């Protein structure tokens, strides 16, 4: 079946369901997207895994966060114990969870449920120089790609944990969208007005180091985190494997923007889960021409928004596969 014939057949199948044309709105578009990704009129969407990438950031030492770097490690332990919001949402929605130590201070965890593959114990301070070397960046991308490509789930959701990573995402957004740092900088973990002003000044100074740099791989090395680099690689691997990618909030969307700039076809595989309250998120969403499914005032990260969007993706595919047509239900269609 040619691409045009497939698109025609898919539209006809959706339109023949027992509903007015277009009455299920974005659920119809979501069903069509999954069918196109899988290349079948009867797609499967039964399994999902959340992969949380964790790493520390050198720029956190400059005072851009309300929390100390120790919290990254403490939260990974919390994930392993099942105590975080991501754990709760995964359990409630039958989503498998894996946590990846991409570069947390303090070394390997050796905990069940935590995959230890650190690039290093945190990045360098991007205020003073590149956050990582080209070799570290490429290694993180390769490890992430292998994870994304090997996973057999129908959908992959990606989350992150790393004190200072809203700063990294802000600098990435600045370089790749051209928006001013001041307009992109948010409160992250809950900075007060004075803390926000300090963060804005620090990030403006960091951005001045590489004014005009727009190559995505170079931007990633200059300002990214190991969790962002590994997540970018995982998105590329998932796209290569034709797995639906559930993109979480601000930091995950920064990784998605890098992935799409590296491999534009990845955009068609991505479902954007929610709109973060971080101001930089809107700039990235506009650059990706993305409209998230949910707007719940979230700004936690951890992949929480992506997991909450998973039931919508499952429901869209169930509609396409299981909802009766006018013919099968013996219901009269629209009058001509």
**Identified catalytic residue from 28, 160, 278, 302:** 302
Three-state DSSP at 116 gives strand
Task: Quote the pLDDT of residue 326.
Answer: 87
Known catalytic residue at 291: no
**How far, in Å, CA of 77 to CA of 71, rounded?**
10
- pLDDT for position 243: 97
Q: In what order do the strands lie in the sheet with 155-161?
A: 114-116, 96-103, 48-55, 155-161, 244-247, 270-272
Q: What does the pLDDT read at residue 147? A: 97
Q: What is the pLDDT of residue 1?
A: 66
pLDDT by residue, tens only, the chain of 336 residues = 678 899 999 999 999 999 999 999 999 999 999 999 999 999 999 999 999 999 999 999 999 999 999 999 999 999 999 999 999 999 999 999 999 999 999 999 999 999 999 999 999 999 999 999 999 999 999 999 999 999 999 999 999 999 999 999 999 999 999 999 999 999 988 899 998 999 999 999 999 999 999 999 999 999 999 999 999 999 999 999 999 999 999 999 999 999 999 999 999 999 999 999 999 999 999 999 999 999 999 999 999 999 999 999 999 999 999 999 988 988 887 665
Residue-range domains of the chain with CATH: 3-44+319-329 (1.10.1610.10), 48-312 (3.40.50.10210)
Count CB atoms within 10 A of the CB of residue 4: 8
Angle at 40 between CA 324 and CA 6, to 5 degrees: 90
Distance of CA 42 to the CA centre of its chain: 26
The whole-model pTM stands at 0.95
Q: How big is the CA angle at 194 (ends 130 and 70), to the nearest 5 degrees?
A: 55
> Which residues, in sequence order, are CB contacts of 66 under 8 Å at separation 6+?
188, 189, 190, 191, 192, 195
Q: How far apart are the first and last CA of the chain?
A: 29
Long-range contacts of 109-112 (CB under 8 A, 24+ apart): 109/76, 109/77, 109/80, 111/76, 111/77, 111/80, 112/80
Judge contact between 241 and 272, C-beta under 8 A. no
* Closest listed residue to residue 207, CA positions, set 165, 249, 179: 179
């Amino acid at each position: 079946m040619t691409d045009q014939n497939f698109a025609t057949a898919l539209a006809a199948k959706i339109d023949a369901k027992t509903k007015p044309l277009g009455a299920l709105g974005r659920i119809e578009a979501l069903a069509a997207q999954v069918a196109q990704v899988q290349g079948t009129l009867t797609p499967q969407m039964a399994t999902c895994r959340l992969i949380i990438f964790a790493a520390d950031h050198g720029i956190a030492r400059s005072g851009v966060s309300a929390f100390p770097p120790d919290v990254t490690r403490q939260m990974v332990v919390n994930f392993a114990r099942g105590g975080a919001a991501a754990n709760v949402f995964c359990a409630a929605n039958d989503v498998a969870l894996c946590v990846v130590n991409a570069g947390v201070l303090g070394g390997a965890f050796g905990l069940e449920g935590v995959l230890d593959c650190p690039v290093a114990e945190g990045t360098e301070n991007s205020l003073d120089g590149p956050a990582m070397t080209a070799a570290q960046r490429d290694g993180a991308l390769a490890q992430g790609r292998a994870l994304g490509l090997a996973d057999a789930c129908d959908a992959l959701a990606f989350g992150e944990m790393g004190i200072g990573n809203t700063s990294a995402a802000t600098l990435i957004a600045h370089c790749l969208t051209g928006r001013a740092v001041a307009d992109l900088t948010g409160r992250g973990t809950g900075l007060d007005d004075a803390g926000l002003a300090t963060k804005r000044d620090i990030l403006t100074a960091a951005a001045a180091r590489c004014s005009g740099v727009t190559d995505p791989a170079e931007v990633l090395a200059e300002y990214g985190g190991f969790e962002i680099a590994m997540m970018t690689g995982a998105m590329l691997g998932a796209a290569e494997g034709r797995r639906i990618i559930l993109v979480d909030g601000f930091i995950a969307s920064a990784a998605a923007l890098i992935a799409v700039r590296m491999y534009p076809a990845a955009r068609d595989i991505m479902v954007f889960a929610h709109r973060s309250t971080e101001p930089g998120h809107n700039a990235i969403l506009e650059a990706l021409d993305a409209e998230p499914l949910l707007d719940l005032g979230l700004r936690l990260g951890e992949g929480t928004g992506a997991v909450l969007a998973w039931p919508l993706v499952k429901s869209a595919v169930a509609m396409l596969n299981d909802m009766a047509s006018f013919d099968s239900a013996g219901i009269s269609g629209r009058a001509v």
